[in-house]
């Protein structure tokens, strides 16, 4: 569970984005965060992932306080997909992209290869394994980033506007990926403007506007 307790946050030399915010994101539901631009959705997502730290209050990811735990350790609990997947693609080939973190962590080569092969198959990237990630379409890049994060076996996933720039076919593939992740027991918080996507998947719907949670609903449960 991700729990925000009396969280107040502002950017450096900026106004308060959130004040004394309380919220709980449960693992068994797909949570959508919706609301107008500039309302604080991405900031909320980054607070939930531990990327941003609140000035007061605390964010707990499975009882780990994000202020006290290094980001690398939080990465084992929560994955974050940025709006622009290019910002989190690091390696020269699709296979290396999924496996380089395992190599850095000195996972035995046989185990690393097995995990990479499994991730490639799960996210329909096997036929692209030898390609440069730069040659992939936007949807493929997103799946690659999700696959690369999944080898860490996080318990939560936060996705920031994952449907931006995807056509209906790619959106359907992404829907399959999201349903697959839920079947694996991974909790998800998805920031989105895409009404049809929200309607299809949302089990908890949080509406954020002007730094406040204006509504919490449970549409598909």
Partner 1 sequence: MWQTPTLDPRTKLLIVLCLSSLAVLIKNVYILLLVLVLTLAAVKLTGGEIWHVFSKLKRFISIFLAVIILQSVFTNEGQAIVQVMQVKLITDVGLLRGLQTILRFFIVIAAAVLMTTANPRDIIQGLIQWKVPYELAFMVTIAIRFLPLLQEEATDTLTALQLRGVNLKQIPILKRLRTYSYLLMPLLTSVLMKSRDLSVAMEMRAFRAYPQRTSLRELQFSGIDYLAMALSMLIFLLLLVAALGFN
Q: Which of 14, 15, 63, 87: binder of partner 1 (CB under 8 A)?
A: 87
Give whichever of 148 and 205 is closer to partner 1, judged by the CB atom: 148
The yes or no reply on residue 80 touching partner 1 (CB under 8 A) is yes
User: What gap in Å lies between CA 206 and CA 46, rounded to an integer?
Assistant: 15
Q: Which of 35, 79, 99, 187: binder of partner 1 (CB under 8 A)?
A: 79
The yes or no reply on residue 74 touching partner 1 (CB under 8 A) is yes
Instruction: Give me the least distance between CB of 60 and partner 1, in Å please.
Output: 17
The yes or no reply on residue 130 touching partner 1 (CB under 8 A) is no
Instruction: Give me the least distance between CB of 38 and partner 1, in Å please.
Output: 16
The yes or no reply on residue 188 touching partner 1 (CB under 8 A) is no
Give whichever of 65 and 218 is closer to partner 1, judged by the CB atom: 65
Query: Interhelix angle for 168-183 vs 138-150, to 10°?
Result: 10
Q: Strand ranges (DSSP E) for 107-164?
A: 156-160
Q: Which stretch binds partner 1 (CB under 8 A): 22-30, 88-96, 109-117, 118-126?
A: 88-96
Terminal-residue alpha carbon distance, the chain: 18
User: What gap in Å lies between CA 147 and CA 207, rounded to an integer?
Assistant: 28
Instruction: Give me the least distance between CB of 149 and partner 1, in Å please.
Output: 7
User: What gap in Å lies between CA 67 and CA 69, rounded to an integer?
Assistant: 6
Task: Quote the DSSP letter at residue 146.
Answer: H
Cβ-count burial 133-168 (b if 16+ within 10 Å, e if not): beebeebbbbbbbbbbbbbeebbbbbbbbbbeebee
Helix (H) or strand (E) holding 71: helix 71-74
The yes or no reply on residue 82 touching partner 1 (CB under 8 A) is yes
Instruction: Give me the least distance between CB of 16 and partner 1, in Å please.
Output: 21
The residues of the shown chain that bind partner 1, judged by CB under 8 A, are: 49, 51, 70-76, 78-80, 82, 86-92, 100-101, 104-105, 134, 148-149, 152
């Amino acid at each position: 569970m991700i729990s925000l307790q009396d969280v107040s946050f502002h950017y450096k030399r900026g106004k308060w984005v959130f004040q004394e915010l309380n919220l709980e994101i449960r693992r068994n539901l797909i949570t959508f965060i919706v609301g107008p631009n500039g309302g604080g959705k991405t900031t909320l997502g980054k607070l939930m992932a531990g990327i941003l730290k609140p000035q007061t209050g605390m964010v707990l990811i499975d009882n780990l306080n994000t202020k006290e735990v290094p980001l690398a350790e939080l990465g084992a609990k929560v994955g974050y997909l940025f709006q622009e997947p290019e910002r989190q693609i690091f390696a020269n080939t699709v296979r290396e992209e999924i496996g380089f973190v395992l190599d850095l962590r000195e996972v035995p080569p046989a185990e690393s290869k097995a995990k990479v092969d499994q991730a490639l198959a799960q996210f329909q990237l096997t036929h692209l394994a030898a390609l440069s990630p730069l040659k992939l379409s936007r949807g493929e890049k997103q799946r690659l980033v999700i696959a690369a994060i999944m080898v860490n076996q996080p318990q939560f996933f936060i996705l920031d506007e994952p449907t931006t720039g995807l056509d209906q076919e790619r959106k359907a593939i992404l829907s399959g990926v999201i349903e697959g992740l839920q079947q694996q027991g991974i909790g998800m918080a998805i920031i989105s403007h895409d009404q049809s996507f929200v309607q299809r998947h949302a089990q908890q719907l949080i509406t954020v506007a002007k730094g406040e949670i204006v509504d919490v609903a449970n549409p598909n449960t």
